[in-house]
Structure 1
Amino acid sequence: MQSPVDAFTFSPFRSFVDPSFFEVLARKKLKEYKLDVIDQPLCATYVIPVSQALSGSSILSLDSSSFIDGSPSATDFVSPGVLRNVNTIEEFKAFDKSSLMKSLGRELLDDIKSGVIDENPSTLAAFYVITFSDLKKFKFTYWFAFPSIITDWTLESSPTASTVVNLVDSKAITIAFEEWRKSVPLEQHGFFLLKKTESDKWTFGSLSQFDTFLDFSQGADTAMVGFADPSSQGSIPGWPLRNFLVYLSHKGLHSVKVLCLRDLVTLPAESRSIWLTFTRLRDESEDSIDAIKTVGWERSKKNKLMPKVSDLSGLMDPRRLADQAVDLNLQLMKWRLAPELDLDKVKNTKCLLLGAGTLGTYVARALMGWGVKNITFVDNATVSYSNPVRQPLYTLQDCISGTTVKSVRAAEALREIYPGVQSSGFAISVPMAGHPVTNEQREHGEYDQLVKLIDEHDAVFLLLDSREARWLPSVIAAAKEKIVINAALGFDSYVVMRHGVPRAGTGRLGCYFCNDIYAPSDSLADRTLDQMCTVTRPGIALLASGLAVELFVSILQHPLGAAAPAPRSDDANLKSLEDPTGDNCHSPLGDVPHQMRGFLHRFDHRNFVGACADYCSACSDRIIQEWKKRGWDFVKNALNVPGYVDDVSGLTDMRSKADELADDDAWAFDDESELDLME
């Protein structure tokens, strides 16, 4: 009596997905797939059992190498697959799984009929997987399909229809199989032809040799074939045999003896490879593709049709989870809104923040939001009780001792918030014009350290309390052509600007000091309490800090970087600082303005453009060349000698000429008749 081959006769595949697979999937979702829902190729592996310990279902394994066809070991057999990663859990639930399974069956049958299987038999064990990646929670929902076409092959009920391969044949088969396996490509290892010669030797052949290798001279069409059987469930063969039988049907066979090969290298005392003999009564070779039935969605351990869920957040290093989360927010910008963004340029830019107070702490947080990984603070002040409510990197605990240095604590706080950031703090004071040197050894050392820090960083943020504290960093950064972002606050106003750098054939945008007719001097002496503290409306700092960081990122995205022209101005004298067409003053994020000034009392925000002044006390050629030539001696004179910077920059002569013109104007007459009378 014969029993039909049905879905429960075979040991189904069970998927095993290593966490490394999902790590790569998450990265590819962010960097490559984005919002695309298209089939992506995969390659999984399975093995045949070599001991009773490997009992249970057939296991199909995927890991990080599954995206690149991997490097299977000597005991692995390959299974080609397809990944479809959808964008929402609703899309996952609504996926038409029935139609997909039917389509996969048609594709498989087409491959059998067209000869694709002859050259790549591993396709008989192919799979398909649908996934949804929740990258915020690092949670993955997935469902595997192992498409298998239903046929009417029947398993013979005779005593020899299901037999264990004897030990002698098992050894000979294993040796012959290993020799054959070395001679053919990897994708052919899972399915094969075999026969026993007159000298009792076993030989193997590839499916591509079907018409020449098999011998039907005995008068019957019973052939011996075999497959690498991942099942270890006694007489129940593994899932790949289902489609192999379909292949044999379309080769015209009506009876076949199948070797379920299980012991590959290890030779147990009792062989567990088995022979199964199948027969077929109906000719399926002319079946309509539309009439075929395909099954194969993976079931749960309770035999229910349902997906699996992998929540890897508990297994992941919190640092890596933080990296993934930061990257997620930034990559999402590129999916729809700004695909031209170069996030690596932002991430790899080293930022030096001079000042770790209200502006410095807010700027640092915004830089981290953009993925900046290297942030350095310079500030020698300590955290006071008034700071935590206005400066988000400090807490009450930082105030208690009165000795917590802002720059050091700010760097620690950044690392606590996001361990992936490389942050350090330096408790040094910045030499200030007009503030005489009191300890030359110490101040000279702080100056050298400041020069070194500016040299080591790509961008400098001027976030200090006084104008004179911003002067020397402006000089050094101008000489080294660094990106400089300057933010300053009033009670209800702010200015945010970038300093210019030379651009071939054009003028240069001005710096923070270009509009001054006097070099900065000591503005801190004899100040009352309200003058010593930065008294501003609380929201001003957030506005200015946010604009400073966004301006910085826009500069990085512009092809000309810090030399980017400013948006067009109505001032004819500034045309050399702009692109005539207005096309090149934009980055992928929009405009790259020069100066932004806000006035909160009327909630007004305006952009300005200013040219570099020939007599600027910070960025003029005279000052830069003098600093390059004399270094610390130049700085020491600027600190000690009143009027020194004015003399070097030419401001003194400029004011003198202005005074002379003013004196001449005092004798000027508008009425020509009065002038004639005087003559």
Structure 2
Amino acid sequence: MDQKVIQFFPFRSFVDLSFFQALSTKKLNDFKLDQSEKLVTGLYSIPVALSSGSNNLVSLNGDSFEFKISTVASNEYISNGVLLNFNTIDDFRNLDKGKLIQQQGQKLWNLIVNGEIELTPSKLSSFYLITFSDLKKFKFYYWFAFPAIHSDWNLDSEFLVSRVSEDEGLILAEIEKWSATVNPSQRGFFLLQKSDDGWKVGKLDQWNDFYGLDNGVVTVGFADPSSSPHHPGWPLRNFLTYLQHKAVRNVKVLCYRDLSYLNTEHRSLWLSLKFTGTDMNKPIRVTGWERISIGNSAAKLAPKMADLASLMDPRRLADQAVDLNLKLMRWRIAPDLDIDKVKNTRCLLLGAGTLGSYVARALMAWGVKKISFIDNATVSYSNPVRQSLYTFNDCFNGGKPKAKQAAESLSLIYPGVESEGYSLSVPMIGHPIANETSEKIAYDQLVDLIQNHDAVFLLMDSREARWLPTVIGCALDKIVINAALGFDSYVVMRHGSRESTTDRLGCYFCNDIYAPTDSLADQTLDQMCTVTRPGVALIASGLVSELLVSIVQHPSGRAAPATKDPDSADTETFTHPLGIVPHQIRGFLHRFEQIKVTGQNSPYCSACSDAIIDAWKFEGWEFVKKALNVRNYVDEKSGLAEVQRKADEITVDENWDFDDEESEEF
């Protein structure tokens, strides 16, 4: 009778990034220089598809060190492992690997002989893992061994390999029911017995109940991670060694591969095997170091190396963590959301106080990578409790410059952000020039900063401080967003774009009948400080960041028309993945009310009218000098003064003349 040598598909390893992260933590905090063996746990599974990439994989992840039985899925099986982490690459390389795997095979054989393997059958599919962790370069060298003891079994030519028949299909349901009742460490290998009542499934420690002393022909099964139509998976090798020790000479093996929820034809295989050796307890031979394939060359014995420098570096990990929420948002809620448009928007914050601090934090949460600050103040003792980028220590010795400290704080919070702070006094209308040289330098720097950013946020305390950035931002057609606070009210608005194809939206100054003037002179302390309910700044800051995101998601960008509620009769029909793009949002905390307002550009605006923008573009600093030094210059230039004069020229109609006597009657 012809016989055929049985061939097995070897195990392969799959190590998730989270395992190396956990190993790094263990090495730094627990292992240190300890080179003793550590227990780890892997999982293998019945593949869900015949061509699945998970075939014959033993997988490890971050939970492998602190493994929980409750996490094992119904189609997963435990592989008990041992980790040996070396302190040097030389120790890793110079290990006598032949001696090691022989020792592991002998340990496994001892477990079979003394009966312990029947209590924990998962050790039949165990592994040994050697590693070296180069934590400076985030490189991990590792090599798996899946010790397998050689045993003398061949396929019986009378019954080589066949699929489970429809008549035998009930056995698969019985295995699935049995698996749900036993510990996951025991369900990978099982005993089978057929009777008039059907199939019976049992644990290895029930051997005597199933077969007694008659081991002539037995039927067993194992969870098979292979999807080959002809070859079983690696776990069968040590299972056959166990059967050899049990003095079995003929065995029918079920390679269990079926998952009930797949609703496919039976994939499980029957093997008929004969023991061909003469000595049931001869010295053991062990194999099992993992082979790897490099290019088109044949697989060879060699370790693997995971170079995770780009992933394990803390800055990279921070980048991944910041991106996670944004990616989940896109994957689960808004698949059309263009995250890169937000991340690549360069943001300039004028004002690094309460609003500036909260706006910056919100922009970072959206993944914005470029955030710059302009502020000429220093951190005072009243700031840290309201301004989240400062601490008590920042107030010492007169206080650190706010803009620079805000930028440094952002970098400490998230190193991936590119942040700069500029201690700069913005020239203010109504405040005559005291030192033209220094103010010209500040002006030139302000223009350059606005030019080199995409979005400008006006978050200052006074109206006059917002005027010049409004002019420049409008002239350069940047996204300009304004936020202003009252005691219990706030306004958040975007300035209109000169590129708008529909009605152009107004700016912060479009409703003024006079150009802004010096509002700080002769003010008392309570008038100079922004006195507001603490929650108002947080609400307004959140709206500022969300308004920016809404603008950049709109295909028209900064020129997007104002939209109200989707069911409003006069609303723009387009909405982007996050909803609408309003012009102004005004809130009133005393009655917890929020409204949306739309206002059109004024042709006489002191900041964004064509006359003012054209004057700045043509004259530059000379225009700014006149605006700051000459009283009512901006009113005249914009046309506001003429509007006022026309209003004053209204006289009483001559038909209403009356004498003194008539007036007395009135």
Q: Which residue of 2 aligns with 1:637?
A: 626
Instruction: Specify whether residues 98 and 478 from structure 1 end up closer, same or farther in structure 2 by C-alpha distance, changes over 3 A only.
Output: farther
Conserved 8 A contact 2:583-2:599: yes
The alpha carbon displacement at 1:431 in A equals 0.5
Instruction: Specify whether residues 652 and 110 from structure 1 end up closer, same or farther in structure 2 by C-alpha distance, changes over 3 A only.
Output: farther
How far apart are the structure 2 equivalents of 1:439 and 1:364? 32
1:546 aligns with 2:542: yes
The alpha carbon displacement at 1:152 in A equals 3.3
The alpha carbon displacement at 1:51 in A equals 10
Q: Which residue of 1 aligns with 2:212?
A: none
1:664 aligns with 2:646: no
1:396 aligns with 2:392: yes
The alpha carbon displacement at 1:588 in A equals 1.1
Tell me, what secondary structure is at the counterpart of 1:356?
coil
Conserved 8 A contact 1:5-1:151: no
1:318 aligns with 2:314: yes
Conserved 8 A contact 2:8-2:231: no
The alpha carbon displacement at 1:321 in A equals 2.5
1:596 aligns with 2:560: no
Instruction: Specify whether residues 3 and 371 from structure 1 end up closer, same or farther in structure 2 by C-alpha distance, changes over 3 A only.
Output: same
Conserved 8 A contact 2:456-2:473: yes
Q: Which residue of 2 aligns with 1:328?
A: 324
Instruction: Specify whether residues 447 and 264 from structure 1 end up closer, same or farther in structure 2 by C-alpha distance, changes over 3 A only.
Output: closer
The alpha carbon displacement at 1:156 in A equals 4.1
1:433 aligns with 2:429: yes
The alpha carbon displacement at 1:41 in A equals 4.8
2:404 to 376, 401, 408: 408
Instruction: Specify whether residues 564 and 669 from structure 1 end up closer, same or farther in structure 2 by C-alpha distance, changes over 3 A only.
Output: farther
How far apart are the structure 2 equivalents of 1:529 and 1:581? 44
Q: Which residue of 2 aligns with 1:620?
A: 609
The superposition leaves residues 391-450 of structure 1 with CA deviations (integer Å, 9 ceiling, x where unpaired) of: 111111111211310001111111111111111100000000111111111110110000
How far apart are the structure 2 equivalents of 1:240 and 1:14? 7
Q: Which residue of 1 aligns with 2:272?
A: 152
Conserved 8 A contact 1:380-1:427: yes
How far apart are the structure 2 equivalents of 1:106 and 1:490? 70
Q: Which residue of 2 aligns with 1:17?
A: 15
Q: Which residue of 1 aligns with 2:572?
A: 582
1:524 aligns with 2:520: yes
The alpha carbon displacement at 1:667 in A equals 5.6
Matches within 5 A, 1:359-508: 359-503=355-499, 505-508=501-504
Instruction: Specify whether residues 439 and 14 from structure 1 end up closer, same or farther in structure 2 by C-alpha distance, changes over 3 A only.
Output: same
Tell me, what secondary structure is at the counterpart of 2:536?
helix
Conserved 8 A contact 2:375-2:403: yes
Q: Which residue of 2 aligns with 1:348?
A: 344
Instruction: Specify whether residues 50 and 422 from structure 1 end up closer, same or farther in structure 2 by C-alpha distance, changes over 3 A only.
Output: closer
How far apart are the structure 2 equivalents of 1:21 and 1:459? 41
How far apart are the structure 1 equivalents of 2:300 and 2:521? 90
Instruction: Specify whether residues 377 and 42 from structure 1 end up closer, same or farther in structure 2 by C-alpha distance, changes over 3 A only.
Output: farther
How far apart are the structure 2 equivalents of 1:531 and 1:51? 77
Q: CA RMSD in A?
A: 4.6
The superposition leaves residues 181-222 of structure 1 with CA deviations (integer Å, 9 ceiling, x where unpaired) of: xxxxxxxxxxxxxxxxxxxxxxxxxxxxxxxxxxxxxxxxxx
Task: Give 2:506's aligned amino acid.
Answer: G
How far apart are the structure 2 equivalents of 1:631 and 1:504? 24
The alpha carbon displacement at 1:524 in A equals 0.8
Task: Give 1:658's aligned amino acid.
Answer: A
Conserved 8 A contact 1:16-1:59: no
The alpha carbon displacement at 1:539 in A equals 1.1
Instruction: Specify whether residues 44 and 322 from structure 1 end up closer, same or farther in structure 2 by C-alpha distance, changes over 3 A only.
Output: farther
The superposition leaves residues 323-378 of structure 1 with CA deviations (integer Å, 9 ceiling, x where unpaired) of: 22211122221232222211111111110000001111111111111111111000
Q: Which residue of 2 aligns with 1:53?
A: 97
The alpha carbon displacement at 1:15 in A equals 2.1
1:647 to 628, 633, 636: 636
Task: Give 1:485's aligned amino acid.
Answer: I
Instruction: Specify whether residues 264 and 530 from structure 1 end up closer, same or farther in structure 2 by C-alpha distance, changes over 3 A only.
Output: closer
Instruction: Specify whether residues 448 and 329 from structure 1 end up closer, same or farther in structure 2 by C-alpha distance, changes over 3 A only.
Output: same
Name the TM-score, length of structure 1 as normaliser: 0.57
How far apart are the structure 2 equivalents of 1:371 and 1:263? 44
Instruction: Specify whether residues 501 and 263 from structure 1 end up closer, same or farther in structure 2 by C-alpha distance, changes over 3 A only.
Output: closer
The alpha carbon displacement at 1:665 in A equals 5.2
How far apart are the structure 2 equivalents of 1:502 and 1:567? 18
How far apart are the structure 2 equivalents of 1:486 and 1:106? 63
Name the TM-score, length of structure 2 as normaliser: 0.58
The superposition leaves residues 429-483 of structure 1 with CA deviations (integer Å, 9 ceiling, x where unpaired) of: 0000111111111110110000000011000000001011000000011011111
Conserved 8 A contact 1:362-1:545: yes
Q: Which residue of 2 aligns with 1:213?
A: none
Instruction: Specify whether residues 666 and 104 from structure 1 end up closer, same or farther in structure 2 by C-alpha distance, changes over 3 A only.
Output: farther
The superposition leaves residues 473-503 of structure 1 with CA deviations (integer Å, 9 ceiling, x where unpaired) of: 0001101111111000111111110001034
Corresponding pairs, count? 441
Structure 1: gaps (5+ residues): 24-36, 63-92, 113-127, 129-146, 160-232, 242-260, 266-309, 571-577, 671-679
The superposition leaves residues 635-662 of structure 1 with CA deviations (integer Å, 9 ceiling, x where unpaired) of: 11111111111111111111111222xx
How far apart are the structure 1 equivalents of 2:556 and 2:569? 12
How far apart are the structure 1 equivalents of 2:231 and 2:97? 36
Tell me, what secondary structure is at the counterpart of 2:490?
strand
Conserved 8 A contact 2:379-2:394: yes
Matches within 5 A, 1:556-567: 556-567=552-563
Instruction: Specify whether residues 105 and 12 from structure 1 end up closer, same or farther in structure 2 by C-alpha distance, changes over 3 A only.
Output: closer
How far apart are the structure 2 equivalents of 1:651 and 1:518? 7
Conserved 8 A contact 1:377-1:424: yes
Task: Give 1:374's aligned amino acid.
Answer: K
